[in-house]
Chains A and B, each alone.
Chain A
Amino acid sequence: MKKLKLSTAMAALTWATISTSQVAQAGEINIIMEEVPDYDIVAKLTDQFTEQNPGITVNFDAMPFDAMRDKILTSSLAPSATYDVIIIDNPWTDEFARAGFLEPLDKLISGQDGYAYDDFVPALADISKVDGSIYGVPYYNYALGLIVRQDIFDSKGLTIPKTIKDYMSVVKSLTTNDMYGAAMQPQKGYKIMEEWKNWLYANGGELFDDSGNVIINNQAAVDALNQYIETHSQAAPPNSANWGFDEALRSVSSGKAATMLSYNWMLPALNAKGGMSGDLAGNFTLHPVPGGKSVLGLWSWGITSNSDNKDDAWTFISWISSPEVAKQRAIMGGAPVRNSVMNSPEVWEKGYGKAYYSALADILDGSAPLSSGNNAEELIEIVGTELSAAVTGQKSVKEALDAAANGVERAIK
């Protein structure tokens, strides 16, 4: 019966199966990666791994984010995994672990000399723990921070806002005919959820209470959404109700907006000489989000439970995430996940300077994941759709949040 169900699942995913590559042979590991700058760094560093471990061939399959979940699913449903090592986005962790797709790493971690697991930022490491077991080790963070045009703040004598109300007031004051206070990302789904949840945290809200009840339509959420909508209507560029990351980044980098809540590692890219910001490079600074508690994103390394090459997979993961290689990766521009890396004078000097790593440490210290638990991906989409409907005036704030609460309750059943 199990085989029958497995075969029917595979039939349902024929389209994905056709496009996957082959199962790795002994002494070979296949790794699925997202095509982002951090992947390029990992690929470069892997040359050193291959030199040190000539018996292990590492094959990367890099692709856009949208293609990854389907491929991981297909690989995990097959008798033998196509991918021995996968990177896991934090909303997927519980779902994949409970589906039995991931190998617990506890024994491998405790048996690895010099690995210093406790050196990972606790908020990051905790994301990969499900029901008391560790299913992943941090790869790179995408915690959100407040990125500002420091030159504008200095010229107007403004201080960095610490509360959400201060932030609203500052960005409104910065908005003129040709400059906007905030480049926002109210695109439905992931983007608006990722941005708005910082406002929810600032108002003391959460998705669930301690007993697991859905509280996304309580007063804190209503206040957070009202403030978000007010800021979008008064300080964000017009016609930006469908903006995502790319549009907001372009608005800030081209000098049309003075602030944005975005991934902390965008700061080095914005300040890069000859980069996307042109003459504005060097004028951007990073700070904790107003309210102090940031939305945290994480990619982590995991081993698939149906991999035939688990030992080789762990040899690679323990090497790439080791303290020494983590430092090299950060110096080359990777987003750090270890405290020792963020506190290293060598990284400050050869990387992006002490100010960036200190700000990042502050951000990570008070951060919490975007969403966790079963069906987190669905939850994000449901809430993100309702938030977008409220921002664009299709629903009232209360209607949208009530619909979000109903949708979340249905999704987590």
Chain B
Amino acid sequence: MNAAKMHIKYKLILPLVFLLSGIMLYPLIFSAWLSLQDYRLTRINDVQFVGFENFGLIATDSSFLNAMGNTIIFVLSAVTFELVLGLSLALLVQKLVIFRGAIRSILLAPMFITPIAVGLMFRFLLNSEIGIIPFYLLKFGVSIDWFGPELALFSIVLIDVWQWTPFMLLMFLAGLEALPKTPFEAARVDGAGPWLTFISITLPMLRPVIVVAIIIRALDAFKVFEYVFAITRGGPGNSTETIMYYIYQTGFRFFRMGEAAAASILLIIFILLLVILLVNLSRPKVTK
């Protein structure tokens, strides 16, 4: 490639670089700067550089550690359920002959509802006083406190699974339909059963799609906020407090922007490491 072409290439990407710098790089650098200051919104004339003190405060705050733990449990549970359900549904829907379009549309519908509305909807559906689900369960003698300390986080996971399994379904359907037919025909000729075909051909060939789907969903699940805000506010106790709720509360309710920024930076580092790990794990092992 000659120098003139390189020059044009860089010129062409410059607008995007400027745009991304404005909307991503600047907030990131600003957050990093904030995380090193004692910066409270009610004391903006008394901002002081405190070095890594905010990181020390956050790292020793039991609420932060609890929120991080809750978030990791939430992400692992929700993404696992969504992966299994999404893949199962995709395999079923792919085989459908009639009503294929209609069933796809119905299954994808939850994804198009705004999460805060989903949170409010389930808050009322599962409410022990006015909810229709506890009402009918009680008719069968089943009394469940969906937002009690034992089940609240699990209920939030279920809500996320209800809303975001369709995303997995969509990804896997596209992936399945893009797979070449020849290996499957060869397997059938060789007498491989459905399970062996799935394990030995479908899953390995679908691996890049699965990894991308997991990364996208996991990144999104780390940001879980709306369900917690709309339903439990992190309770009972702090059993459903997630990292985004913690950051929101520290920054925008308690006005401690320095500590909220420090928590955000720690979260970014954690997610970055996780993504690197996932990408590395997804690479096919090359035998020499």
Chain A residues proximal to chain B, CB less than 8 Å = 2, 5-6, 8-9, 11-13, 69-70, 73, 77, 95-96, 98-99, 101, 186-189, 237-243, 247, 250-251, 375, 377-378, 381, 385-386, 388-395, 403, 411
Q: Which of B147-155, B164-172, B197-205 contacts A (4 or more CB under 8 A)?
A: B147-155
Residues 80 to 102 of chain B near chain A (Cβ within 8 Å): none
Interface flag for B105 (CB, 8 Å): no
Residue of B nearest to A254 (CB): B129
Q: A69 vs B248: C-alpha distance in the bound complex, in angstroms?
A: 13
Chain B residues with CB under 8 A of A394: 149, 236-237, 239
State which of B47, B233, B254 has its C-beta within 8 Å of the C-beta of A378: B254
Assess the B30–A8 pair: CB atoms within 8 A. Answer: yes
Assess the B236–A242 pair: CB atoms within 8 A. Answer: yes
Assess the B249–A9 pair: CB atoms within 8 A. Answer: no
Assess the B148–A385 pair: CB atoms within 8 A. Answer: no
Chain B residues with CB under 8 A of A12: 30, 34, 41, 257
Chain A residues with CB under 8 A of B30: 8, 11-12
Residue of A nearest to B150 (CB): A392
Chosen A-B contacts, 14 in total, with CB atoms closer than 8 Å, are A5-B44, A5-B45, A188-B234, A188-B236, A239-B128, A239-B143, A239-B145, A241-B148, A241-B149, A242-B152, A247-B128, A377-B254, A388-B235, A392-B237
Q: How far is the CB of B49 from chain A (nearest CB, A)?
A: 12
Residue of A nearest to B249 (CB): A381
Chain B residues proximal to chain A, CB less than 8 Å = 30, 34, 41-45, 47, 62-63, 127-130, 134, 143-145, 147-149, 152, 232-239, 249, 252-255, 257
Residue of A nearest to B27 (CB): A11
Chain B residues with CB under 8 A of A388: 235-237
Assess the B233–A70 pair: CB atoms within 8 A. Answer: no
> Are A393 and B149 CB-contacts (below 8 A) given A5-B47, A188-B235?
yes
Q: A97 vs B62: C-alpha distance in the bound complex, in angstroms?
A: 31
Instruction: Please name 4 further chain A to chain B contacts, defined as beta carbons within 8 Å, in addition to the given A9-B41, A242-B145, sorted by A numbering.
Output: A73-B42, A77-B44, A98-B42, A189-B234
State which of A95, A242, A250, A378 has its C-beta within 8 Å of the C-beta of B148: A242
Chain B residues with CB under 8 A of A238: 128, 143, 145
Chain A residues with CB under 8 A of B129: 237, 240, 243, 247, 250-251
Residue of A nearest to B229 (CB): A66
State which of B143, B144, B235, B257 has its C-beta within 8 Å of the C-beta of A385: B235
Q: A95 vs B253: C-alpha distance in the bound complex, in angstroms?
A: 12
Assess the A381–B253 pair: CB atoms within 8 A. Answer: yes
Q: A52 vs B253: C-alpha distance in the bound complex, in angstroms?
A: 39
State which of A2, A101, A247 has its C-beta within 8 Å of the C-beta of B45: A2
Chain A residues with CB under 8 A of B62: 403
> Are A240 and B128 CB-contacts (below 8 A) given A5-B47, A393-B149?
yes
Chain B residues with CB under 8 A of A8: 30
Assess the B236–A389 pair: CB atoms within 8 A. Answer: yes
Assess the A73–B255 pair: CB atoms within 8 A. Answer: yes
Assess the B44–A385 pair: CB atoms within 8 A. Answer: no
Chain A residues with CB under 8 A of B127: 247
Q: How far is the CB of A284 from chain B (nearest CB, A)?
A: 18
Contact residues of B: prevailing secondary structure: loop
Q: How far is the CB of A223 from chain B (nearest CB, A)?
A: 21
> Are A189 and B42 CB-contacts (below 8 A) given A12-B30, A247-B127, A375-B254?
no
> Are A377 and B253 CB-contacts (below 8 A) given A6-B44, A247-B127, A394-B149?
yes
Assess the A242–B147 pair: CB atoms within 8 A. Answer: yes
Chain A residues with CB under 8 A of B145: 238-239, 241-242
Chain B residues with CB under 8 A of A403: 62
Chain B residues with CB under 8 A of A73: 41-42, 255
Assess the A239–B134 pair: CB atoms within 8 A. Answer: yes
Q: A137 vs B143: C-alpha distance in the bound complex, in angstroms?
A: 48
Q: A395 vs B63: C-alpha distance in the bound complex, in angstroms?
A: 14
Chain B residues with CB under 8 A of A11: 30
Chain A residues with CB under 8 A of B257: 12
Q: Which residue, A2, A6, A12, has most C-beta atoms of chain B within 10 A?
A: A12
Q: A122 vs B105: C-alpha distance in the bound complex, in angstroms?
A: 62
Assess the A99–B128 pair: CB atoms within 8 A. Answer: no
Chain A residues with CB under 8 A of B238: 188, 385, 389
The 5 closest A-B pairs by CB, nearest first: A389-B237, A188-B235, A239-B145, A99-B42, A239-B128
Residue of A nearest to B46 (CB): A5
Chain A residues with CB under 8 A of B45: 2, 5
Chain B residues with CB under 8 A of A251: 129
Q: How far is the CB of A32 from chain B (nearest CB, A)?
A: 17
Assess the A70–B148 pair: CB atoms within 8 A. Answer: no
Assess the A189–B233 pair: CB atoms within 8 A. Answer: yes
Chain B residues with CB under 8 A of A377: 253-254
State which of A99, A237, A247 has its C-beta within 8 Å of the C-beta of B43: A99
Chain B residues with CB under 8 A of A411: 254
Q: A263 vs B189: C-alpha distance in the bound complex, in angstroms?
A: 76
Q: A412 vs B239: C-alpha distance in the bound complex, in angstroms?
A: 24
Q: A113 vs B233: C-alpha distance in the bound complex, in angstroms?
A: 46
Q: A13 vs B42: C-alpha distance in the bound complex, in angstroms?
A: 13
Q: How far is the CB of A99 from chain B (nearest CB, A)?
A: 4
Chain A residues with CB under 8 A of B233: 187-189
> Are A385 and B254 CB-contacts (below 8 A) given A5-B45, A99-B43?
no
Q: A188 vs B147: C-alpha distance in the bound complex, in angstroms?
A: 12
Chain B residues with CB under 8 A of A392: 148-149, 236-237, 239
Assess the A385–B234 pair: CB atoms within 8 A. Answer: yes
Q: Which residue, A5, A77, A98, has most C-beta atoms of chain B within 10 A?
A: A5
Q: How far is the CB of B197 from chain A (nearest CB, A)?
A: 47
Chain B residues with CB under 8 A of A187: 233, 235-236
Residue of A nearest to B237 (CB): A389
Q: Which residue, A69, A385, A386, A391, has most C-beta atoms of chain B within 10 A?
A: A385
Q: A390 vs B239: C-alpha distance in the bound complex, in angstroms?
A: 12
Chain B residues with CB under 8 A of A385: 63, 234-235, 237-238
Q: How far is the CB of B71 from chain A (nearest CB, A)?
A: 17
Chain B residues with CB under 8 A of A98: 42
Chain A residues with CB under 8 A of B128: 237-240, 243, 247
State which of B42, B144, B239, B252 has its C-beta within 8 Å of the C-beta of A70: B252
Q: A247 vs B236: C-alpha distance in the bound complex, in angstroms?
A: 15
Residue of B nearest to A390 (CB): B237
